[in-house]
Amino acid sequence: MPGPLSHLTVIELAGIGPGPFACMLLADMGARVIRIDRAPVPSRGGIDDLMRNDSVVDRGRRSLSLNMKDPRAVEAVLRLVERADVLIEGFRPGVAEKLGLGPAQCHARNARLVYGRMTGWGQTGPLSHTAGHDINYISLTGALHAIGTAGQPLPPLNLVGDYGGGGMLLALGVLAAHAQAVQTGTGQVVDAAMTDGAALLMAAQYGLMAKGFWQDARERNFLDGAAHFYGTYACQDGRHVSVGAIEPQFYHQLLALCGITDPHFEQQWVQGEWAALRAKLAQVFLTRTRAQWCEVLEGTDACFAPVLSMSEAADHPHNVARGTFVCQDGVLQPAPAPRFERTPSALPPKAPRTGEHTAELLAAAGYQPAEIDALVGAGVAFLEASA
């Protein structure tokens, strides 16, 4: 695969959520990602089936399907670890060790391996062994408390914990550790916790609060829906637009282009006037359709954009020009990012079927054809046809 990480081999112990997202980022940048799938099981419905083999997040992998309860399967993974740069797992603390694939076992085979651990609460702390999801992790950091209406916090999908504070944090961590391992020849464990990552994403808000510019309450601040110059508005056709005219020069351009001459709007930063100004601005946006407002405001410095649905986003001229979205086998999805000048990334192959590359990967680990047949016959390894 092209991309700046084409030299990197990553072992992914299959899971859901932020670990796979981190591996998607690495695969998008050219890394060879080998996903260790568990033995195939009948569909049981629920979240596991919903998230398994996601056609977007799981793109760019090779799949090796093994019965991880068998020590012969563990040995196969350890042989791959000997040739790998990074391993990523997202189990509760201690589970990988029980499988025989903890950091000590892996580093005994490959001292330079970077061992990435993705959890919600982290490897230590009183909550580290308890279950949870994105909404719980961001609750603990002040992030969820800051998002929503004045009366109730609202989860921002699972963007803050799982993906921004989880998967991206892990990807950054393992690449930093790999850069250090290249210099020293010694790998290390990377403990990436969504609570830590969500807290990091709140750095600006904590900084503003320390200076007295942020109130610890929802819809009381300039970025959380209270200010009239930073929010969304309904249009005549029921669609919405967004404005973010924080700086005075952008704010005055917004007023001018909207034809607003009311002197009340000169009190931009008088917090006590925000509610009244928001009500007035809401009435202005109701006078035209979203498309009409785009004709007036899009492409100006009024800090404006239409609020597009997921199905609309790919067709916006800016996204089309940059190739922000791509379609592979009928599946619309975000293109790899960021953009690299010298070693550009390319959209990797779609998500593999469980066990699609079992024979190929066992051979790469040093197994002979007869040994592979024996592992398959014993129910230790599974080929796609039997998955």
Which positions are catalytic?
133, 162
What residues form DSSP beta bridges with 11? Answer: 34, 87
DSSP assigned state of 338:
S
Q: In what helix (H) or strand (E) does residue 372 lie, and over which residues does it extend?
A: helix 369-377
Cβ burial of 316 (10 Å; 0-12, 13-18, 19+) is middle
Joined together, the tokens standing for residue 250 give: 């952008």
- Beta partners for 118? 192
CA distance 157 to 164: 11
Structure tokens at 218: 């929802």
Instruction: Provide the 3-class DSSP secondary structure of residue 191.
Output: strand
Dist. CA 134–CA 157, nearest whole Å? 9
Task: Give the relative orientation of helices 369-377 and 71-81 as an angle to the nearest 10 degrees.
Answer: 140
- The whole-angstrom separation of Cα 200 and Cα 219 is 21
**Hey, what are 297's tokens?**
């405001």
Secondary structure class of 304 (helix, strand, coil): strand
